[in-house]
């Protein structure tokens, strides 16, 4: 079964630089030309986003291996050989140490879930290349944001995600959102709260969405200062009009 792997998955070697060049090697043509174009366009969009965020043309981002399986058994074999705990319920994993995104494509007709994992995972890698120890709310919020990109042959667009927006409205109605507290959480705290039924990941997405709707330059300034060691609380007070307290009010109003 292991020998069969190398013929049954697509191996996309993505060398991403902030001059917006992508090299992809689609060995067995398992992606259609349109799907390959969408993946390239989405990753280029992310690369240019981080170029704008940090205003640094000298930044070079290393490549990512994106491996997409059509065959579930081969995906499971590959994951186990890779030292990952995968089973029939697993749809993919991200390995930060090797910058590898491995996906099982369950539905040949619907590539959305695979898109989400590719761009979600690539956002994590981009951010970790440009910012040491990024805040979890920023890392998760950006990853989900990029995972919901609407990509066509002509453009990349974003619109409110219905499921996330509905969840945010419900949380606001229940008075269950405390931005000042949530932006201090580390990854372990996010996971702990999620296991207890509180979806901080959705709130993180809502924070990023609202900041980008307000003015992307606010988020970019915040990211630059956070890279230089400023806390999440400090950058909200420094760059959001009215500070963190005002952002909390605007968030509650926006998702009311």
Query: Where is pLDDT greater, at 229 or 33?
Result: 229
Q: Where are the domains of the chain?
A: 2-130, 162-254
pLDDT single digits (tens) 143-182: 999 988 888 777 888 888 889 999 999 999 999 999 999 9
This model's pTM is above 0.85: no
HSE (CB half, 13 Å, CA atoms) of 180?
8
Say whether 165 sits in a helix, a strand or coil.
helix
pLDDT single digits (tens) 71-122: 788 888 888 888 888 876 677 777 877 777 787 776 655 555 566 667 777 7
pLDDT averaged over the chain?
81
HSE (CB half, 13 Å, CA atoms) of 114?
21
> Which string of b and e fits 136-154 if b means at least 16 CB within 10 Å?
bbbbbbbbbbbbbbebeee
> Which string of b and e fits 25-64 if b means at least 16 CB within 10 Å?
ebeeebbeeebbebbbbbbebbbebbbebbeeeebebebb
Query: Would you state the pLDDT for residue 192?
Result: 97
pLDDT single digits (tens) 44-62: 888 889 888 988 766 666 6
């Amino acid at each position: 079964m292991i020998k069969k792997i190398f013929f049954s998955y697509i191996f996309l070697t993505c060398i991403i630089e902030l001059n917006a060049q992508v090299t992809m090697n689609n060995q067995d043509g398992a992606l259609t030309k349109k799907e390959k174009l969408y993946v390239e366009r989405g990753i280029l969009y992310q690369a240019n986003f981080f170029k704008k965020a940090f205003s640094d043309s000298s930044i070079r981002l290393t490549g990512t291996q994106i491996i997409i399986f059509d065959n579930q058994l081969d995906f499971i074999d590959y994951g186990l050989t890779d030292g990952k705990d995968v089973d029939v319920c697993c749809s993919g994993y991200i390995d930060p140490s090797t910058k590898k995104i491995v996906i099982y494509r369950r539905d040949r007709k619907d590539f959305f879930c695979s898109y989400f994992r590719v761009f979600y995972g690539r956002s994590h890698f981009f951010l970790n290349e440009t910012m040491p120890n990024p805040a979890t709310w920023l890392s998760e919020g950006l990853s989900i944001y990029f995972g919901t990109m609407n990509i066509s042959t002509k453009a990349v667009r974003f619109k409110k995600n219905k499921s996330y927006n509905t969840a945010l409205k419900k949380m606001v109605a229940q008075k269950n959102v405390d931005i000042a507290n949530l932006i201090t959480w580390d990854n372990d705290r996010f996971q702990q709260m999620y296991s207890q039924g509180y979806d901080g990941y959705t709130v993180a997405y809502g924070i990023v969405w609202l900041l980008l709707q307000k003015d992307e330059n606010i988020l970019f300034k915040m990211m630059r200062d956070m890279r230089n060691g400023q806390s999440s609380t400090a950058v909200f007070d420094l760059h959001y009009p009215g500070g963190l307290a005002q952002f909390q009010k605007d968030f509650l109003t926006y998702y009311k």
